[in-house]
Structures are given as structure tokens and as C-alpha cells.
């Protein structure tokens, strides 16, 4: 929990300024308690609404490091990975390969071999070329690969254009409306080294409304019925993807995830009955909603530069290298001065990073307490798509991740050093 105690911002009871004193700035700080609570919400909902006939997967592109795989595994979740690098990290952390789902629209031959050899439970096939390649590779290894298909159900989610993936104009998956999805399953059903297990869709990210999820579930079940009737292929598993919204700024009020899951389960059950299908095994893939609100980033204020009648730039010792989301898609965040957390937020700031790019901003028109050089500036809800999107632009070392566990901070990812940065230079 993130709260102010005696004027100081705290994460699970630990003062942010104590953490920055011990581990330096900038750094990411995450609450293990919050991550575990979020995992349990999805796990419990599957128990409650599907009698346990399903599995939540942590979409690890939101935040991938060894310790996060250990935490979500210990909560009984599976995980989805989208690259050889994420797969490698999950396996090294001891994640049960049977509970790993491998996504991606351009998996390489090497990555597919790695997935087959390590016994990954489920490969989510994106396109026909990948299907044929996978069938050949599995055959060469004498294995049968469990697969599902990434399907574009043609459902649009109300979200930012750049993260909209459910509609036909998307680089991901095969479309329903032009028969592409039907054809690929027909082809797969005739191959020897793959087994069609599931159908998958992911209609976007940062979605607050449950209607698009319900509509997507309905469309997918209708498709599964068509496949059963016309191809005699029974798809046993329905994966509804992730995308559940979180609160970044005031006015964003996500529903309780339990409520989403209940509503979607009603649609799944009633539609299955109407179509003469058994209720499928249900998979969901929350990423942001597991880790997003569990994390903050703590920076040091370096300078406060007021340009009369224009704006005030508050420069920090981090920026787009640790949080590229404003530069990428103008994502909004809230911030505060951790050591003045009980003071009014009456100062309008453009929070600027340290990179040699004018677009290196964390946000504009952000209301914070009056800042001075040396203050600790915290940006909220940075647990997802920050560390995992970090770069070494300007040869800035990546930040450490400090996890608060049982009221004590511990490092789960070390700060990069200059030595790390030149490691592969010749
Ligand atoms: C990104 C993604 C997710 C997770 O999305 P969130 O918005 O973080 O919940 C899940 N599944 C797939 C296939 C994705 O691409």
C-alpha cells in the first residue's frame, strides 16, 4: 500500500526517502503484497466462476525479471512470454514450462526450437508460416506441440490507438471475418505434429468497460461452434487475453476485477449452453493490472527551471530511459514530492528527463508539491511497462528494482553499472 505517514510517502510502511537513501536514485520500488493480492483476485475468480476450470497467466511483458516469475508461480498462476528472452528468464527462474504460453507475431526458428525443447505447454500461433514451421520443427524433435491461435475477433476496445489490437487492421493474428482463422485451423487439423487446443484473442489494453470482453467472448464461442460443426475440431480452451485497466490518474476508476470476471463468466456459460458447447477451459492474461499499481519510480529533482508565462521544467535524474511511455504514447501519470507528501499539490510542472531529446518528458501539466533541487520526486503506477521498456539510450544504466517484502526492502534487480553497459562492446 502506498500512503503518506507524517508527511512522508511510504510503500508498505517503508519511507521512500529511506529507500532512496539506502539504494540511491533513481529506482523502481514495488510492493510484493500488492502483486500477490492482484494475482489472488484472478485466481479466486477462476475458482469461483469456473469451478477452477481455467488459469490466469501473468502477461510478463509488463514486467519481466526472475523474481516476478517466482512470485506469480508461487501464487499458482501461469505466465505468457513473447520472446526467447522472456522464456529464458522464466525457465531460469524455475517456472513450470507446462504453465508457460508462448506468444508473438514473429517468433524465430530458434525461439520455437527453444520452446519445443524446454517443454513449453502452449504455443499461440500467429500466422500460417509459423504454423508450418512449428509443425516441421516439432516433427524433427519427435514431439507434438499444443497450440492455440491468435484470432482477431473484430471487436474494438475503447483505448489508445497504438494499443488497439482486436480489429482486422492489426499485425497480430488471423482474422475471423475473412475466413482466415477458419482456414488456418482447417490446415492445422490436418497436420501431424501440432494439436489444436485453444483459441485466443486480446482486444487491447487499459480497457475499463467489460462490454468489449463480453462481446469478444461471444464472437469467439460462435467461432468455436462453427469449427466444431464444420471441421469436427473441438477447441477446448478459450483465452480472452488481458487488457484490464488500472488507475494512472484521477478519473480512471477500474471496476473490481472480480466483477469483470463474473460478468464475462455469465456470458461464457450462457453462450456455451446456447451453442451446445461444453464450457471451455478459461484463460486470462492480465499484465498491467497485476503489477502496474504495485510500483512507483523515485527520482531526485536536479533543477527547477521556470520560463516566464510558458512553463516550469522540473528536471529529474531519470526519464525516457526508465519510462518511455509519455514519449511513446503520451501516457498520463500522477507524481508527488515524497518528502513533502502532505503539502498541497499546487505547483504545475513539466517533468523532464535527462536525455538529449526535447521529447524526453514524464508528463506535462503535472500537479505536484513545490519542488526544489534535492527533493525526491515519485511517479505513481509505474510497475508495468516501465522497467520492461527501459533502454540504455545515452548510455544511461538501467535502474534497480527494490521490492518491499514483509515491510522490508530488498533488491530484486541490481542497478546496471558502466561495466554492464560496455559488456558487449569490442
Ligand atoms: C499485452 C498483452 C497482454 C497483457 O495486457 P495488459 O494490458 O498488460 O493486461 C495479454 N495478452 C497479450 C497477447 C498481450 O499482447
Q: Which of 201, 199, 200 is nearest to 212 (CA)?
A: 201
Q: Which atom of ligand 1 is nearest to the CA of 287?
A: 8
For the residues 254-271, what does the mean pLDDT come to?
93
The fraction of the chain above a pLDDT of 90, given in percent, is 90
Instruction: Dump pLDDT digits (tens) for 27-43.
Output: 999 999 999 999 999 99
Q: Which atom of ligand 1 is nearest to the CA of 205?
A: 7
Lowest mean pLDDT among 164-168, 223-227, 310-314, 350-354: 164-168
What does the mean pLDDT of the chain come to?
A: 95
Catalytic residue among 10, 39, 355, 356: 356
62 C-alpha to ligand 1 centroid (Å): 8
23 C-alpha to ligand 1 centroid (Å): 31
Q: 238 Cβ partners below 8 Å, 6+ apart?
A: 198, 199, 217, 220, 221, 224, 268, 280, 281, 282, 283
Grid cell digits, residue 14: 517503508
Output DSSP code: residue 190: T
Q: Which atom of ligand 1 is nearest to the CA of 103?
A: 13
- Is the pLDDT at 164 greater than 70? The verdict is no
Query: 65 an active-site residue?
Result: no
60 C-alpha to ligand 1 centroid (Å): 8
Q: Which of 413, 370, 382 is nearest to 319 (CA)?
A: 382
Instruction: Dump pLDDT digits (tens) for 70-112.
Output: 999 999 999 999 999 999 999 999 999 999 999 999 999 999 9
Q: Which of 223, 252, 354, 258 is nearest to 301 (CA)?
A: 354
For the residues 227-254, what does the mean pLDDT come to?
95
- The answer to whether the CB of 306 falls within 8 A of the CB of 370 is no
Q: What is the CA radius of gyration of the chain?
A: 23
- Is the pLDDT at 162 greater than 70? The verdict is no
Ligand 1 residue neighbourhood (C-beta within 6 Å):
59, 61-62, 80, 103, 202, 205, 241-244, 285-289, 384
Probe target for ligand 1 pocket from 60, 202, 206, with the most ligand atoms within 8 Å of CB:
202
- Give the pLDDT confidence score for residue 168 in this predicted structure: 74
Q: Which residue has the higher pLDDT, 163 or 265?
A: 265
Any idea of the CA torsion for 157, 90, 129, 153, to the nearest 10 degrees?
A: -20
- Is the pLDDT at 329 greater than 50? The verdict is yes
- Give the pLDDT confidence score for residue 256 in this predicted structure: 87
- Give the pLDDT confidence score for residue 158 in this predicted structure: 59
The DSSP H or E segment spanning 188 is: helix 180-189
- Is the pLDDT at 166 greater than 60? The verdict is no
- Give the pLDDT confidence score for residue 64 in this predicted structure: 98
For the residues 264-280, what does the mean pLDDT come to?
96
Rounded-to-5 percentages of helix, strand, coil across the chain = 35, 25, 40
- Is the pLDDT at 393 greater than 50? The verdict is yes
Q: Which atom of ligand 1 is nearest to the CA of 385?
A: 8
183 C-alpha to ligand 1 centroid (Å): 25
Between the two ends of the chain, the Cα-to-Cα distance in Å is: 45
What is the model's pTM?
0.96
**Distances in Å between the alpha carbon of 364 and those of 254, 273, 299, 315?**
23, 50, 17, 12
208 C-alpha to ligand 1 centroid (Å): 14
- Give the pLDDT confidence score for residue 410 in this predicted structure: 98
- Give the pLDDT confidence score for residue 161 in this predicted structure: 43
Task: Tell me how many degrees the CA angle 7-19-41 measures, rounded to the nearest 5.
Answer: 85
Probe target for ligand 1 pocket from 238, 287, 294, 382, with the most ligand atoms within 8 Å of CB:
287
Question: Residue 124 half-sphere exposure, CB side, CA atoms within 13 Å?
Answer: 28
Probe target for ligand 1 pocket from 38, 41, 61, with the most ligand atoms within 8 Å of CB:
61
284 C-alpha to ligand 1 centroid (Å): 9
Instruction: Dump pLDDT digits (tens) for 103-156.
Output: 999 999 999 999 999 999 999 999 999 999 999 999 999 999 999 999 999 886
- The answer to whether the CB of 403 falls within 8 A of the CB of 30 is yes
Amino acid at each position: 500500500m502506498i500512503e503518506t505517514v507524517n508527511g512522508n510517502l511510504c510503500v508498505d510502511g517503508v519511507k521512500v526517502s529511506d529507500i532512496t537513501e539506502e539504494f540511491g536514485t533513481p529506482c523502481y520500488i514495488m510492493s510484493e503484497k500488492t502483486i500477490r493480492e492482484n494475482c489472488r483476485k484472478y485466481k479466486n475468480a477462476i475458482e469461483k466462476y469456473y469451478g477452477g476450470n481455467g488459469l490466469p497467466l501473468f502477461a510478463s511483458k509488463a514486467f519481466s525479471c526472475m523474481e516476478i516469475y517466482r512470485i506469480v508461480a508461487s501464487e499458482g498462476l501461469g505466465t505468457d512470454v513473447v520472446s526467447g528472452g522472456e522464456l529464458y528468464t522464466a525457465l531460469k527462474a524455475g517456472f513450470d514450462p507446462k504453465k508457460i504460453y508462448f506468444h508473438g507475431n514473429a517468433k524465430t526458428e530458434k525461439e520455437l526450437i527453444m520452446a519445443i525443447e524446454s517443454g513449453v505447454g502452449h504455443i499461440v500461433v500467429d500466422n500460417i508460416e509459423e504454423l508450418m514451421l512449428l509443425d516441421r520443427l516439432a516433427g524433427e524433435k519427435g514431439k507434438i506441440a499444443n497450440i492455440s491461435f491468435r484470432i482477431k475477433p473484430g471487436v474494438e476496445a475503447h483505448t489508445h490507438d497504438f494499443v488497439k489490437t482486436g480489429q482486422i487492421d492489426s499485425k497480430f493474428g488471423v482474422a475471423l471475418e475473412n475466413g482466415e482463422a477458419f482456414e488456418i485451423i482447417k490446415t492445422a487439423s490436418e497436420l501431424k505434429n501440432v494439436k489444436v487446443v485453444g483459441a485466443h484473442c486480446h482486444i487491447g489494453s487499459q480497457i475499463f468497460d467489460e462490454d468489449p470482453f463480453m462481446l469478444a467472448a461471444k464472437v469467439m464461442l460462435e467461432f468455436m461452434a462453427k469449427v466444431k460443426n464444420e471441421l469436427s475440431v473441438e477447441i477446448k480452451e478459450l483465452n480472452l487475453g488481458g487488457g484490464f485497466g488500472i488507475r494512472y490518474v484521477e478519473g480512471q476508476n477500474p471496476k473490481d476485477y472480480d466483477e469483470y470476471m463474473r460478468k464475462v463468466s455469465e456470458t461464457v456459460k450462457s453462450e456455451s449452453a446456447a451453442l451446445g458447447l461444453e464450457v471451455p477451459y478459461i484463460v486470462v492474461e492480465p499484465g498491467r493490472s497485476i503489477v502496474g499499481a504495485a510500483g512507483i519510480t523515485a527520482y531526485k529533482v536536479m533543477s527547477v527551471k521556470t520560463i516566464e508565462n510558458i512553463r516550469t521544467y522540473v528536471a529529474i535524474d531519470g526519464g525516457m530511459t526508465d519510462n518511455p511511455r509519455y514519449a511513446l504514447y503520451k501516457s498520463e501519470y500522477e507524481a508527488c514530492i515524497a518528502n513533502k507528501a502532505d503539502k498541497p499539490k499546487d505547483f504545475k510542472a513539466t517533468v523532464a528527463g535527462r536525455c538529449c531529446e526535447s521529447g524526453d518528458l514524464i508528463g506535462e501539466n503535472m500537479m505536484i508539491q513545490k519542488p526544489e533541487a534535492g527533493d525526491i520526486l515519485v511517479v505513481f503506477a509505474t510497475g508495468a511497462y516501465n522497467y520492461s521498456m527501459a533502454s540504455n539510450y545515452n548510455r544511461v544504466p538501467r535502474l534497480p528494482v527494490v521490492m518491499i517484502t514483509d515491510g522490508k526492502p530488498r533488491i530484486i534487480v541490481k542497478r546496471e553499472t558502466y561495466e554492464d553497459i560496455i559488456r558487449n562492446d569490442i
